[in-house]
Structure 1
Amino acid sequence: MGTWWSLVGQAAWQGLIRLFANPVWYAGWLLVIWELARNVRRERRLFGVRVTRPWRAVRQRFLQAAVTGIIVSVLAAAAGVVVPARVAVAVTAVTVVLGLLRLRFAATLYSASVVALAATVASAFAAGLPAPWAGMARAVAACNPGTCLAVAAAASLAEFILLVWNRRHPGTPAMVWGRRGKGIGCAVSQLCFAVPWLAVAPGGLAWPGLLPPGWPWFGAASLAGAAGAAGTAGFGAMGVPLLVGHAGFWTTRQPGEGMRPVWVYDAVAVVCLAAAAWAVRHGWGAAGWLAPVLALASREAMLWWMARAEAVGDPLFVPVSSGVRVLGVQPGSLAAEVGIRPGEIITHINQVPVHTGYDLYFAFNQNPAYVRLQVVDLRGEPRWAGKPVYEGERHRLGLVLPPDDGVVQAFLRPPGRGGLWQTLYARFTARHPSAREHGQPAAAPPGAVGPHLQGSVAERG
Structure 2
Amino acid sequence: MIESWLLELLKGVGRLFIHPVFYVTMAVAVVLGYFRVKRERHDFHIRVEYGLTEFQKVLKTLVLGLALSVLTLGVGIILPFGTIFLISIVTVAFTLLIKPRFLSTGYIFGFSLLLAVLLPKWTTGIASVDSLFSSIGETHLPSMAILMGMLMIVEGILVIKQASTQTSPQLEKSKRGLPVGFHVSQRVWVLPLFVLVPGDALQTSFEWWPVLQVGEQSFSIWLVPFAMGFYSRLKASLPKETIPITGRQMTALGVLILALAIAGVWWETAAILSAVLAVFGREFIQYRVRAHDEESQPIFVQRDKGLVILGVIPQSPAEKMNLQIGEIIVKVNGISVSTVEGFYEALQQNRAFCKLQVVDTNGEDRFAQCAIYEGDHHELGLLFVQYGKKWKRTEAV
Contact in 1 for aligned 2:26/2:55 (Cα 8 Å): no
Q: Map residues 123-202 of structure 1 onto 2, 5 A cutoff.
A: 138-202=134-198
- CA distance in structure 2 between the partners assigned to 1:49 and 1:101 by the alignment: 27
Q: Does 1:251 align with 2:216?
A: no
Q: Map residues 37-436 of structure 1 onto 2, 5 A cutoff.
A: 37-55=34-52, 57-100=53-96, 103=99, 104-121=101-118, 138-202=134-198, 206=202, 211=206, 214-218=208-212, 221=214, 225-226=216-217, 233-236=218-221, 238-280=222-264, 282-390=265-373, 392-393=375-376, 395=378, 397-403=380-386, 406-416=387-397
- CA distance in structure 2 between the partners assigned to 1:349 and 1:107 by the alignment: 44
User: Which 5+ residue runs of structure 2 have no aligned equivalent?
Assistant: none
- CA distance in structure 2 between the partners assigned to 1:67 and 1:289 by the alignment: 31
Contact in 1 for aligned 2:202/2:220 (Cα 8 Å): yes
Structure 1 residues 371 and 25, CA, compared in 2 at 3 Å: closer, same or farther?
same
Letter of the 2:226 partner, please give it: L
Contact in 1 for aligned 2:54/2:187 (Cα 8 Å): no
- CA distance in structure 1 between the partners assigned to 2:131 and 2:50 by the alignment: 52
- CA distance in structure 1 between the partners assigned to 2:41 and 2:377 by the alignment: 21
Contact in 2 for aligned 1:173/1:185 (Cα 8 Å): yes
| Corresponding position of 1:24 | 21
Letter of the 1:221 partner, please give it: V
Structure 1 residues 82 and 359, CA, compared in 2 at 3 Å: closer, same or farther?
same
- CA distance in structure 2 between the partners assigned to 1:22 and 1:191 by the alignment: 21
Identity of aligned residues (%): 26
Q: RMSD value over aligned CA atoms?
A: 3.1
- CA distance in structure 2 between the partners assigned to 1:390 and 1:130 by the alignment: 71
Letter of the 2:211 partner, please give it: W
Q: Which moved more, 1:31-40 or 1:385-394?
A: 385-394
State the 1:260 CA deviation.
3.3
- CA distance in structure 2 between the partners assigned to 1:193 and 1:134 by the alignment: 32
Structure 1 residues 396 and 85, CA, compared in 2 at 3 Å: closer, same or farther?
farther
- CA distance in structure 2 between the partners assigned to 1:351 and 1:199 by the alignment: 63
Q: Which moved more, 1:238-247 or 1:340-349?
A: 238-247
Letter of the 1:79 partner, please give it: V
State the 1:293 CA deviation.
1.0
- CA distance in structure 1 between the partners assigned to 2:208 and 2:334 by the alignment: 71
| Corresponding position of 1:34 | 31
State the 1:234 CA deviation.
4.8
State the 1:172 CA deviation.
1.5
Structure 1 residues 184 and 301, CA, compared in 2 at 3 Å: closer, same or farther?
same
User: Which 5+ residue runs of structure 1 have no aligned equivalent?
Assistant: 227-232, 417-461
- CA distance in structure 1 between the partners assigned to 2:85 and 2:75 by the alignment: 22
Q: Deviations over 1:401-447 (max 9, x none)?
A: 223xx33222344444xxxxxxxxxxxxxxxxxxxxxxxxxxxxxxx
